[in-house]
Amino acid sequence: MVYPDKMTTVEQAYDDLSRRSLSRIDGDLARLIYLASTRDYNTGKYHHDGLAARFQDEIAGQALELAHREVFLQIAARSLEELVHQVEVYVSSSPQSREEVLQVWQKLEPYRVALPVDVNIALAQLFVSNIKLALAILRRRYRRQEPELASRS
């Protein structure tokens, strides 16, 4: 069997991933967390059942890795205000209460696992730092909103 050019195939897998999965996820932060979750903690390799069914496992893994890096670069280049919005979108989409999610994120810092491998150290530090700030800003914002909401009801 003759396989098409390798890079073309990775691009095809990437497009497939973007079209079928990533486009259905609301917000870059949610996409980043989703893509990071397809990476094995022990091996660092990416796996996605749907993608692996349509492409070679290795090609699918490369497409996932590429998408992960791309989404990370997009989100790391955002302003703090935009990132606060991204975190808000992510937190609001969770079935848990906003306060609960924010508290757990501040304690466990799960967003550190969302970093791609071999990313620029300063950029990684900036991302982690901005998420910390966004969480602190949102917690304060929600705390301020609580008495207002209570007095209205």
Partner 1 sequence: MRPAKQTSPSLARTFLFPVFFSRGDWEFVHGLGTDDIQRLFKRERKNVALVWVRQISAMIKKAMREHAGVARQSKNLEFSTEIRIFAQFLTLMAVCGILSIAIQTAGPLSLAGLAHFVQRLSLRIVKVQGSFQPAPLVKSAGHA
Please report whether residue 8 would count as binding partner 1 according to CB under 8 A. no
The rounded distance, in Å, linking the Cα atoms of 151 and 153 is 5
Compute the least distance from the CB of residue 120 to partner 1, in Å: 6
Among residues 1, 2, 122, 149, which is the contact residue for partner 1, using CB under 8 A?
A: 122
Contact 61, 47 (CB under 8 A): yes
Work out whether 67 is an interface residue with partner 1 (CB under 8 A). Answer: yes
From the list 46-54, 89-97, 104-112, 122-130, the region that binds partner 1 by CB under 8 A is: 122-130
Residues in contact with 37: Cβ distance below 8 Å, sequence separation at least 6, in sequence order = none
User: Judged by CB under 8 A, which stretch of 37-45, 52-60, 63-71, 91-99 contacts partner 1?
Assistant: 63-71
For partner 1, which is the closer residue by CB, 1 or 33?
Answer: 33
Quick check: 117 binds partner 1 (CB under 8 A)? no
Part of the chain binding partner 1 (CB under 8 A), chosen from 37-45, 48-56, 76-84, 145-153: 76-84
Q: Which of 100, 129, 145, 146 binds partner 1 (CB under 8 A)?
A: 129
What is the DSSP code string of 62-107? HHHHHHHHHHHHHHHTS-HHHHHHHHHHHHHHSSS-HHHHHHHHHH
Point out which residues bind partner 1 (CB under 8 A).
7, 10-11, 14, 18, 22, 63, 66-67, 69-70, 73-74, 76-77, 79-81, 120-123, 125-126, 129-130, 132-133, 136-137, 140
